Amino acid sequence: MSLRGIVPPDPETGVSQERFAVIFTPRQNRKRYPAGCVEIFETGAAALAAADPDNKRHAARVVGPSKSSEGQFLYYLLEWLA
């Protein structure tokens, strides 16, 4: 996994880690998303089942949450699942 441009996970706390998610977004061209737009799932299959691209809900693999310099919690996109 390339961490270029991503706040690396903290190995001691496990707070920020790789997860499967559905991201609500009209465009899939960003690298980071606010926590309010991200719904976490246990498995990639569960995220794919919950995705609804027609309603702007896309399955992804993300890392986070990380706190930005502005104080927001963010998830960083690793890859789109579909």
Query: Tokens for 59?
Result: 């399955």
pLDDT at 68 (0 to 100):
85
pLDDT band at 82 (very low <50, low <70, confident <90, very high): confident
Per-residue pLDDT tens over the stretch 1-38: 455 555 555 555 556 789 999 999 999 999 999 999 99
CA distances from 1 to 8, 57, 60 (A): 11, 24, 15
Per-residue pLDDT tens over the stretch 56-77: 999 999 999 988 888 899 999 9
pLDDT at 69 (0 to 100):
86
Flag whether pLDDT at 41 surpasses 80: yes
Beta bridge partners of 63: 18, 76
